[in-house]
Structure 1
Amino acid sequence: MGKLVLPFLGMVAAECAQVGLIIVSKQVMSKGMTSFIFIFFSNIIAALVLLPSSFLLHSRSDRPHLTFSTLCGVFLLALLGYMSQVFGYAGIYYSSATLSTALLNLVPVFTFILAVVFRMERLDWRSSSSIAKSVGTIVSISGAFIATLYKGPSLLKRPSPANLSQHLMFTQESNFVLGGIFLAADCLMASAFLIVQASILKKYPAELIVAFLYCFFVAIQSGVTCLFMERDTSAWSLQPSLRLLGVLYSGVFGYALQVGMFTWCLHQTGPVFVSMFKPIGIVISVVAGLIFLGDALYLGSLVGATVIVVGFYSVLWGKAKDIEDIAETRSSEFSGEKTPLLK
């Protein structure tokens, strides 16, 4: 369990940055900046932030050789990540925050299924760790849907600043069907992203270099898209200052910090553990809404958060059990003990 403390803290920090990114992106795009340009500027800043740190932390002596196949893999990873961002922002634009938060909980389901299909996670119903991870995944997703879809009576509410909630909401006409399709595509791309990233890190275990190359390639892909989609030069402006501040936040915290943390935690724990923090993000959203936006705390949020914690602890125990079993196996092999074929 001790080996999971740092990945746990890292993923909590990454999810906090993600919640901030959602709030900032809503504000910036409500001021007229398109999602394509927002993604372009954010990834440019993130690449500039990650460039020096990635090559400083990975010295030339311990840096793996960067092959053409690895670059192609990271380019594919960037394409999946870029498509996920485009679909995600479009889904939030056309639907509501409630629908987007609910459908994001499909990520752990898709990731767990893909990880089992590609044999990144073992699924043995005779193993207590596999049962714990499977049941914990289902429980956490159920809790996330409870927190999102069941409101219930208000338990706690603090006065919000005047008109703050209105400023953070989209004024565009909602289209829940189209938004739901975009968000489902976002979840599928995000799950495939985690699987591809995990396979790349096995061959090239330099997390920050992979994160830098990812942001660099996304910036190129989004820049090419912008040249075709955004012919109006005024759309590239970073004025008013809210646009500039939003891009700076998203580049440093929403992308550089988040992608760096995701990549490191993915290398340490695997894709299923990382994807399990999507439901945890709902808890962070509830707390952030209560503190910063003056949202009320409803019974559904409290019950859902409790169920999420129970399910997440089950997955955490299953991952810790896997790590313990692997450590025991390696210790047994190192000591020269022979393990019988049939236990």
Structure 2
Amino acid sequence: MVNLFNVEAIESAKPIVLMIVVQSIYAVVNIMLKMVANDGSSLSVLIVYRFVFSTAFTVPFVFFFERKSVQNLTGKVLFQAFLCGLFGGSLQQNLYIKSLALVSATYTITMLNLIPAITYVLAVSLRMEKPNLGTPAGKAKLMGTLSGIGGAMILTLYEGKRLFNLSLHIDLLQNVTSTTHHSPAGSHVWGLMLALGTALSFSLWFITQSKMSQNFPWHYSIAALTSIMGAIQSFIYAICTERDWSQWKLDWNLRLLTAASAGILASGVCFVLLAWCVGMKGPLYVSAFNPLMLVLVAFISSFVLNEYITVGR
């Protein structure tokens, strides 16, 4: 009986541990993206390389562990993969990294706290989740949604006094040209809108991935298809918008490290873990862990980017 309880406890803890790992990876990669976004690199090209690395990482897993999934590829699955590549890849990342270039990393991440709220509304509207407002769980989900929206409003309207700065007197942005500090008037609002669009794209991705996993329950294959579609879409967008061909050259520098880390870790590893957790617990459960990334990014930014933590932000 004791062993049975231990097994059940371990199984129930797996999604929690996996989501903590995912959010930790996202937090570190986001700091790296913020640094690259401020050094003049082409953001659209960086995203292309991110999904190229992600594709190269995930496809071998499909070959070794999920060969049978190829036999189950249908037009519907490919269309869902296209949407995953769009909402979880090309569109989401282009909106997100351009938001990072306009506002601080902590600010952008905080706006992503709206992801659980948006996901909740979409899931209820699509009848993937029942409100169950008469139950404690239903009330908790509603309160979580309202608190997420309230937090985003506080962030937007109120900054407040500085609380503390945990800086190690290291500012990794001091030697790069910061578009955050030299951006035109109105860029703060534009950054806010881009971050909001990123949150919506994230939510649509979770919803689509949940639908896809019901008929195509192969997590490595879902991650690989998402990466492939994201790479194709990002390449088409970058080739149409980036005229400086020197931006496509990768040297042994932070840009290469960021592209590889974002592709292999944030897209490759995290896509697999997210697909697994969405299949087990649903899109709302996965989205509920996004605020953890805010806490991690806020502290990391304070340590190495010399950003202050204030009452509102």
TM-score by length of 1: 0.78
The one-letter amino acid of 1:157's match is: L
Instruction: String of CA shifts for 1:290-314, please: whole Å, max 9, x gaps.
Output: 444465566667xxxxxxxxxxxxx
Which of the pair has more CA radius of gyration? Answer: 1
Q: Which residue of 2 aligns with 1:270?
A: 282
Matches within 5 A, 1:279-294: 279-293=291-305
Give the 3 Å change call, closer, same or farther, for CA 224–210 of structure 1 in structure 2.
Answer: same
CA contact (8 A) 1:104 1:187 kept: yes
CA contact (8 A) 1:156 1:298 kept: no
Match of 1:160 among 169, 187, 190: 169
Q: Which runs of 5+ in 2 are unaligned?
A: 1-7
Matches within 5 A, 1:1-343: 2=9, 3-58=11-66, 60=68, 65-81=72-88, 82-139=90-147, 142=150, 150-155=159-164, 157-161=166-170, 163-167=171-175, 169-170=178-179, 171-174=181-184, 175-239=187-251, 241-293=253-305
C-alpha distance in 1 between matches for 2:312 and 2:47: 33
State the shift of 1:132 in Å.
Answer: 2.1
Give the 3 Å change call, closer, same or farther, for CA 299–91 of structure 1 in structure 2.
Answer: closer
The one-letter amino acid of 1:56's match is: F
Find the residue that maps to 1:164 and give its secondary structure: coil
C-alpha distance in 2 between matches for 1:181 and 1:144: 12
C-alpha distance in 1 between matches for 2:12 and 2:300: 25
C-alpha distance in 2 between matches for 1:30 and 1:126: 48
Total equivalences in the alignment: 299
C-alpha distance in 2 between matches for 1:277 and 1:201: 20
C-alpha distance in 1 between matches for 2:142 and 2:81: 29
State the shift of 1:220 in Å.
Answer: 0.8
State the shift of 1:233 in Å.
Answer: 1.6
Find the residue that maps to 2:264 and give its secondary structure: helix
C-alpha distance in 1 between matches for 2:44 and 2:164: 40
Instruction: String of CA shifts for 1:247-297, please: whole Å, max 9, x gaps.
Output: 111111121122222211111111111111221211111332344446556
Find the residue that maps to 2:142 and give its secondary structure: helix
Find the residue that maps to 2:174 and give its secondary structure: helix
Give the 3 Å change call, closer, same or farther, for CA 151–281 of structure 1 in structure 2.
Answer: farther
Instruction: String of CA shifts for 1:292-338, please: whole Å, max 9, x gaps.
Output: 4465566667xxxxxxxxxxxxxxxxxxxxxxxxxxxxxxxxxxxxx
Give the aligned CA root-mean-square deviation in angstroms: 2.7
State the shift of 1:141 in Å.
Answer: 5.4
Give the 3 Å change call, closer, same or farther, for CA 297–85 of structure 1 in structure 2.
Answer: closer
